[in-house]
């Protein structure tokens, strides 16, 4: 009748980051097929004041590893934000997946008693459960969906099932 | 240490649909300010083979009410998919919010023992918890984020905090 904080985040992130990696595979194949420099797609944006695809992937992975790191106390891998290809972005996702696979199921049990303060919102501390459910998870979905939309906008042949994953 | 199926869906949908309504408020104000026919934004798309904004809102609300209806057995409101303004879309969201407010906290307790089959995927029955966590919730986030991206693509002055909501 219920899901633990672990169940509603770690396996969800693992599944969705796997789907993201799969989307990038299709983007990479599209670039090869049409002689498109991968940098063009990596720098593509929905609007000039939004982040490009490469940064959307960086933030999706940062929010996933960062939220689990903050709530579990298990230090996530430090990543350099210097990716210049889909292959490097997939390696980044792989590093985060490897980290998430190490998290024990009881590591998030104290979530409800934690207070999380994001560095850029020092005046808005969040209760741990609120942070996980209403901030971290929606952000991960946001940035993965935005990657999807940037790829669709550029004609990459993907569909909703690539976002949702295996059923 | 855990969240019920109700807690991880109904209040999450209520919060995110409220944020969606707020995004549409800003879109409507943008149209007034710049003398833009609302129909132009309602029919805007990320790519020609993607759904326009109006349909993205319809699907976000359908997935929210539909998933709770299927898992609780409490019939959701039938909506006509005939909206032609942001005001009508906000009324649609309001109807779904009113429905969600009536769902008792124990209404989803039998989720794990249910099997959900979507009409367009007759060969892919989903276990209730899988359906909720890996299909319905990611779809709601997907369609709300895509509305956000369509609005940003058209220059509507919104930011990530409008998507995330009050902290």
**Nearest CA to CA, how far is A1 from chain B (Å)?**
5
Residue pLDDT, tens place only, A139-154 = 999 999 999 999 999 9
Closest chain A CA to residue B112: A1
The verdict on A43 touching B (C-beta cutoff 8 Å) is no
The verdict on A26 touching B (C-beta cutoff 8 Å) is no
Most B CBs within 10 A among A6, A108, A138, A143, hence the mutation to make, goes to A138
Neighbours of B166 (CB within 10 A): 10
pLDDT, chain A, mean: 97
Residues of B in contact with A166 (CB under 8 A): none
Q: What pLDDT, on a 0 to 100 scale, did the predictor assign at position B117?
A: 96
- Name the burial class of residue A7, with classes exposed (0-12), middle (13-18) and buried (19+) by CB atoms within 10 angstroms of its CB: middle
The mean pLDDT value for A7-26 works out to: 98
- Is B13's pLDDT higher than 90? yes
Distances (CA, A) of B24 to B65, B87, B137: 19, 8, 21
Q: What pLDDT, on a 0 to 100 scale, did the predictor assign at position A57?
A: 98
> Side-chain half-sphere of B2: how many Cα atoms within 13 Å?
10
**Nearest CA to CA, how far is B24 from chain A (Å)?**
17
Nearest to A144 by CA among A32, A43, A22: A22
Tell me what percent of the residues of chain A surpass a pLDDT of 70. 100
Q: What pLDDT, on a 0 to 100 scale, did the predictor assign at position A130?
A: 97
Domains of chain B plus CATH, in order, are 5-164 (1.20.120.450)
Task: Tell me the count of A-B CB pairs closer than 8 A.
Answer: 106
- Nearest CB to B4: which of A2, A47, A109? A2
> pTM, whole model, 2 decimals?
0.98
- Is B1's pLDDT higher than 90? no
Q: What pLDDT, on a 0 to 100 scale, did the predictor assign at position A164?
A: 97
The mean pLDDT value for B128-157 works out to: 98
Q: What pLDDT, on a 0 to 100 scale, did the predictor assign at position B157?
A: 98
Q: What pLDDT, on a 0 to 100 scale, did the predictor assign at position A1?
A: 75
The verdict on a CB contact (< 8 Å) between B133 and A167 is no
In which band, very low, low, confident or very high, does the pLDDT at B15 lie, cut at 50, 70 and 90? Answer: very high
- Is A35's pLDDT higher than 90? yes
Rg (CA), chain B: 16
Residue pLDDT, tens place only, A47-70 = 999 999 999 999 999 999 999 999
Closest chain A CA to residue B144: A142
């Amino acid at each position: 009748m219920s899901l633990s904080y672990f169940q509603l985040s770690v396996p969800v992130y693992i599944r969705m980051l796997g789907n993201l990696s799969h989307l990038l595979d299709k983007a990479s194949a599209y670039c090869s097929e049409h002689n498109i420099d991968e940098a063009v797609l990596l720098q593509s944006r929905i609007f000039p004041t939004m982040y490009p695809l490469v940064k959307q992937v960086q933030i999706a992975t940062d929010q996933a590893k960062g939220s689990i790191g903050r709530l579990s106390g298990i230090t996530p891998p430090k990543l350099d934000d210097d990716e210049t290809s889909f292959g490097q972005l997939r390696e980044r996702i792989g590093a985060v997946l490897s980290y998430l696979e190490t998290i024990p199921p009881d590591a998030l049990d104290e979530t409800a008693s934690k207070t999380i303060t994001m560095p850029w919102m020092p005046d808005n501390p969040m209760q741990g459960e609120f942070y996980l459910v209403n901030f971290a998870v929606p952000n991960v979905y946001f940035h993965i969906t935005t990657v999807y939309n940037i790829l669709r906008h550029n004609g990459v042949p993907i569909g909703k099932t690539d976002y949702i994953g295996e059923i």
